[in-house]
Amino acid sequence: MQTLSVSLAERSYPIFIGESLLTNPECYQTYLKAKQVLIVSNTTIAPLYLAKVEQTLQSLGYKVACHILPDGEQFKDLQHVEGIFKTLLEQRFNRDCVLVALGGGVVGDMTGFAAACYQRGVAFLQIPTTLLSQVDSSVGGKTGVNHPLGKNMIGAFKQPTAVLADTSVLDTLNDREYAAGLAEVIKYGLIRDLPFLEWLEQNMAGLVARDKKLLAEAIARSCQNKADVVAADELEANDLRALLNLGHTFGHAIETAMGYGTWLHGEAVATGMLMAADLSWRLGWITQADVVRVKTILQAANLPVIPPTEMTSEQFLSLMAVDKKVLAGKLRLVLLRQLGQAVVSADFPLQTLEQTLIAGTELGQ
| Residues near ligand GLY, by CB under 6 A | 136, 140, 142, 241, 244-245
Q: Which of 236, 255, 293, 325 is catalytic?
A: 236
Rounded distance between C-alpha atoms, residue 97 and residue 249, angstroms: 36
Active-site annotation holds for 252: yes
| Exposure letters 291-310 (e unless 16+ CB within 10 A, then b) | bebbbebbebbbbbbebbee
Task: Name the residue among 346, 193, 360, 198 with its Cα closest to residue 283.
Answer: 346
Active-site annotation holds for 147: no
Rounded distance between C-alpha atoms, residue 313 and residue 333, angstroms: 16
Distance of closest approach, residue 152 Cβ to ligand NAD, in angstroms: 5
Residue 109 binding: pick among ligand GLY, ligand NAD, none (C-beta 5-8 Å cut-off by kind): ligand NAD
Residue 241 binding: pick among ligand NAD, ligand GLY, none (C-beta 5-8 Å cut-off by kind): ligand GLY
Distance of closest approach, residue 226 Cβ to ligand NAD, in angstroms: 8
Going along 86-172, which residue ranges are E strands? 98-103, 123-128, 142-147, 150-157, 163-166
Distance of closest approach, residue 50 Cβ to ligand GLY, in angstroms: 26
Active-site annotation holds for 245: yes
Active-site annotation holds for 54: no
The helix/strand/coil state of 231 is helix
Q: What angle do CA 251, 294, 166 make, to 5 degrees?
A: 70
Active-site annotation holds for 236: yes
CB 270, CB 305: distance < 8 Å = yes
Backbone φ and ψ for 294, nearest 5 degrees, come out as -65, -45
Nearer to ligand GLY, 68 or 220 (CB): 220
Nearer to ligand NAD, 44 or 222 (CB): 44
Task: Name the residue among 244, 339, 263, 337 with its Cα closest to residue 305.
Answer: 263
Distance of closest approach, residue 267 Cβ to ligand NAD, in angstroms: 9
Rounded distance between C-alpha atoms, residue 147 and residue 151, angstroms: 6
Nearer to ligand NAD, 188 or 281 (CB): 188
Q: Which of 92, 120, 213, 330 is catalytic?
A: 120
Distance of closest approach, residue 142 Cβ to ligand GLY, in angstroms: 5
5 Cβ contact partners less than 8 Å away, ≥ 6 residues apart: 12, 13, 14, 15, 227
The helix/strand/coil state of 155 is strand
Within a 10 A sphere around the Cβ of 353, how many other Cβ atoms?
21
Q: Which of 187, 241, 295, 325 is catalytic?
A: 241
Nearer to ligand GLY, 170 or 244 (CB): 244
Active-site annotation holds for 82: no
The helix/strand/coil state of 289 is helix
Q: Which of 76, 226, 293, 332 is catalytic?
A: 226
Q: Which of 151, 248, 293, 295 is catalytic?
A: 248
Nearer to ligand GLY, 54 or 184 (CB): 184
Nearer to ligand NAD, 95 or 176 (CB): 176
Active-site annotation holds for 325: no
Question: What residue ranges bind ligand NAD (CB under 6 A)?
Answer: 42, 44-45, 48, 71, 73, 76, 103-107, 109, 129-130, 132-133, 136-137, 140, 142, 152, 169, 172-173, 177, 180, 265-266
Task: Name the residue among 235, 134, 146, 150 with its Cα closest to residue 188.
Answer: 134
The helix/strand/coil state of 3 is strand
Q: Which of 151, 158, 221, 265 is catalytic?
A: 265
Residue 76 binding: pick among ligand NAD, ligand GLY, none (C-beta 5-8 Å cut-off by kind): ligand NAD
Active-site annotation holds for 151: no
Q: Which of 142, 187, 282, 295 is catalytic?
A: 142
Distance of closest approach, residue 2 Cβ to ligand GLY, in angstroms: 21
Nearer to ligand NAD, 174 or 309 (CB): 174
The residues carrying an active-site annotation are: 120, 142, 184, 226, 236, 241, 245, 248, 252, 265
